[in-house]
Amino acid sequence: MTLRSLSFTFNKLWAAIFLFASSCTFLFVLPVMENVPLWVFRLCMSAVLLFSIFSLEKVKLYFFLIGFVAAALDWFSDMGQYSALGPILKTVTFAFVFLVVGSLMIKFLKQKEVGLYSLLEAINGYLLLGILFSSITFLLYTLAPESYQSTNGNIARNDLFYYSMITLTTTGYGDVLPVTAAAKNLAMIIAVCGQIYVAFLVGVLVGKYINKITHE
């Protein structure tokens, strides 16, 4: 059974557009705003999960239910009385986002021809990687604040999101530094994943797009 048989089926193009908008809001808008409540980040993250599901080629009902559970656990993990379970519950959400990115990659590789819609999906996949690693970096900092140091002495949420995206692009300005072994290992994973995505997946998509234009 697929979600096409349900009344809330989304058009794939609109799902991709909304995913792009919600991802940009999560990464580039909310972190630089002052005094944003944590529930706003959670709400935006839930929107990202929802639209990422509907942007897939075939949305299975069980996949949608897993995404709903992942979003619910992400909210549940911030409840104070269950703080000890927070990292475990967040890991489920992280694993689901990684699964969505993997599904998008497989979808890209199966496409014989690509257009602007496919390129939009490629950008969405990259932004999802940024969201995934930004959230993991923030979680690591929450559990072990000594994991990162900043040249100005203070580290805010937007600094960690900025650090994650800069590391994903392998730019590395050096104003926020990983200090502990866990933070350094995470930085290496972020950098490698960013390079694999850009060099392999986006390279394949651009090659197919150029091939399409050439034949036309």
The 3 state secondary structure assigned to the chain is: CEHHHCCCCCCHHHHHHHHHHHHHHHHHHHHHCCCCCHHHHHHHHHHHHHHHHHCCCCCEHHHHHHHHHHHHHHHHCCCHHHHHHHHHHHHHHHHHHHHHHHHHHHHHHHCCCCCHHHHHHHHHHHHHHHHHHHHHHHHHHHHCHHHEEECCCCCCHHHHHHHHHHHHCCCCCCCEEECCHHHHHHHHHHHHHHHHHHHHHHHHHHHHHHHHHHHC
pLDDT at 121 > cutoff 70: yes
97 or 159, which is more confident? 159
Q: What is the pLDDT of residues 124-165, one digit of tens each?
A: 989 999 999 998 998 899 889 999 999 888 888 889 989 999
Q: How far is CA 60 from each of CA 1, 11, 67, 82, 105, rounded to the nearest angstrom? A: 6, 15, 11, 31, 17
The whole-chain average pLDDT of the chain stands at: 80
Percentage of the residues of the chain whose pLDDT score is greater than 70:
81
pLDDT band at 25 (very low <50, low <70, confident <90, very high): very high
Copy the structure tokens of residue 196.
């694999």
Q: Looking at residues 86-112, what average pLDDT do you find?
A: 75
The number of residues in the chain equals 216
Q: Looking at residues 90-109, what average pLDDT do you find?
A: 77
pLDDT at 78 > cutoff 80: no
Which residues make Cβ contacts (< 8 Å) with residue 95, sequence separation at least 6? 70
CA–CA separation, 130 and 123 (whole Å)? 11
Q: What does the pLDDT read at residue 50?
A: 82
Residue ranges making up the domain that contains 122: 3-215
Which residues make Cβ contacts (< 8 Å) with residue 2, sequence separation at least 6? 58, 59, 60, 61
73 or 4, which is more confident? 73
CA trace torsion 98, 99, 104, 107 (10° rounding): 150
First vs last C-alpha separation in the chain: 38
CATH of residue 66: 1.10.287.70
Q: What does the pLDDT read at residue 91?
A: 75
Q: How many domains does the chain have?
A: 1
Q: What does the pLDDT read at residue 2?
A: 46
Give me the long-range contacts of 69-74 (CB less than 8 A, separation at least 24). 70/95, 70/96, 70/97, 71/45, 71/46, 74/42, 74/45, 74/46, 74/49
